[in-house]
Structure 1
């Protein structure tokens, strides 16, 4: 898992496994957002499995799936609503790229924090 801290509030990563969810919880994440449709790739961990572990660890799972480059205004507006909660958010998809695109679109509307320097990343083989 490769975690990129986009701001002090929002981070993004590639696909999570159930085992990765503990590390996300340890970061103080309150909202765990999935931007990946189930069944996109063979062997992908189902959202329901990750959501169940997130709930067990005290996080609120949020499903906001969309295909890469298919972000709608509705997706952007829903993510803005999540940002406005001021809760710590982690979002994930296949590579993290679509999560970052969604965050950039939402952040440009709300005028939020500038993106962190690329040195704020975390690698894990867990």
Structure 2
């Protein structure tokens, strides 16, 4: 498992195995968010299997799947709500961790400076400079009203 700490309470990782969930529970993780659609995974790694394993270890499981080109404001809002409502550390996973970081980035735009968001993504191997215009637009929307 390749955990990358994005914030003090949110980490991302490429695809995990059901056996990794016991390790996450031992680390104190309280919420696991899957941003990977089932169609990208074999049956042994699909959401229902991961959810059952997470719940067996006392971890809340949130299925918020999307592909990069299908991410919507609903996905951003669901991820942001999950992070806000979590009662402890949260781990998001997808194919590489990038989607989990991008959806977080759009949720915090306007609350965290865009330069800082880009620096965080880049420092974890997710170069976000190309997202600057979209993040700046999201920041403007998120700070209105």
Tell me the TM-score range normalised by the shorter chain: 0.7 to 0.9
Equivalent in the alignment of 2:33: 33
2:83 matched residue in structure 1: 83
In structure 2, the partner of 1:14 is 14
Task: Spell out, residue by residue over 1:56-98, the C-alpha distance to the aligned partner (whole angstroms, 9 max, x if none).
Answer: 1000111000012422111111111112225321100011111
8 Å contact kept, 1:5–1:116: no
Structure 1 CA distance, aligned partners of 2:43 and 2:101? 23
**Which residue of the partner structure matches residue 123 of structure 1?**
none
* Two-structure CA RMSD over aligned residues (Å): 2.4
Gaps of 5+ in 1: 120-126
Moved over 6 A (4+): none
* TM-score w.r.t. length of structure 1: 0.81
Aligned length: 119
CA offset at residue 116 of structure 1?
A: 8.9
User: Separation in 2 of the partners of 1:38 and 1:57?
Assistant: 21
User: Aligned partners of 2:41 and 2:82: how far apart in 1?
Assistant: 27
- Match of 2:3, SS state, is strand
Name the SS of the counterpart of 1:90 in structure 2.
strand
* TM-score between the two structures when normalised by the length of structure 2: 0.72
| Greater fraction of residues in helix | 2
Larger Rg: 2
**In 1, Cα distance between equivalents of 2:44 and 2:66:** 15
Cα distance in 2 between the residues matched to 1:85 and 1:26: 21
